[in-house]
Structure 1
Amino acid sequence: MPDNLPSFLTRNQLVPLLMPESGLPLVEGLLDPKVQVQPAGIDLSAQKVLAPTNGAIIGFSQAETKLPDYKELEWDSEGKVYLAPGPYKVILNEIVHIPRNIVGLARPRSTIARGGGSVVTALWDPGYSGRSEVLLVVHNPFGMTISRNARIIQLCFWELAEPLAEGEGYNGRYQLENIPTNRDLTTK
């Protein structure tokens, strides 16, 4: 077997990546690292919940694609929002910086599934930085109430067999999504 097979990162490997000596942290803005860093990943939490207001057009190219418009839902006085059955875009609290030697894949926390929901995500490509968005789908016919900062996904990380070369990695339209444009991302 080759020595350079990809490996799944565990808590002991993730913690040093949250406060690297140089460069950006793997995940920044954790509300409580002691709670969010799990044995095999990092829990990410809900900052905003949005509901679609129209349909989407998905084409082969970005020029053919039109994403739906969304309306932000308001948290009530207790910091909760009721979600009727259907799809919702959730913007996460945490900002993720995936280095060129790592890839991320998220799974819904089991509490979401047990409550009658699912979370749909894409791959976090090497080189991606941003405050990600995920799709929360409420299947429970009675709906679901979530709290602001609810942990909804666990982001897991794999080290690639070999890192991508300088200049390679994610450079798509969602790079630096939901991060203020005046933010300096060149250092910790």
Structure 2
Amino acid sequence: MKVGIAGVGGIGSNVAFNLVRAGWRELKLVDMDRIESSNLNRQFYFADQLGRYKTEALRENLLRIEPSAEIESLVLQLDESNIISSFVDCGVIVEGFDNVTTKKMLVESFAERNVPVISACGIAGFALSEVGRRRIGNCEIVGDFTTDFNEAELYCPKIQVIAAMMADRVLQRIREQR
């Protein structure tokens, strides 16, 4: 089963990293951004990849971990006209956007399609004690549900914990569907 990852920044790149390290081999990476120096403190990219498309660099990084993985990378701005078709071949979708409007669009687009969506909410700041999970319909949300990146700094340890929890939920949802 292919796992779709919509947005491969701090959350998406680290969920992908965790999935491949856990043995998952089928991913579809979708994003339109390029790597910036400000990404390097929390995203699975390297300084020599600055300026490259995130999907292409992440695919390369993941294949270094597992050369036999089947990783599709799309440089694409997701919107209402292409979001469903972009993930039609995926059994689980990870939401990794930093834009509330795009997050909402993805979750709502798959709400009635019986495709699990694993999302994040409240990834900023230091506090790990409040990180938890909630399930609403086909969507599972991981985070502290309050600390927005507009209100606090983004730090690698918290993002890594949330991404690992999201990867765990992806793997559990895959097991449930088998």
Shorter-chain TM-score bucket reads under 0.3
Q: TM-score, normalised on structure 1? A: 0.26
TM-score, normalising length from structure 2? Answer: 0.27
Give the structure with the larger strand fraction: 1
Structure number, greater radius of gyration: 1
Which structure is richer in relative contact order (CA contacts within 8 A, separation 6 or more)? 1
More helix as a share of residues: 2
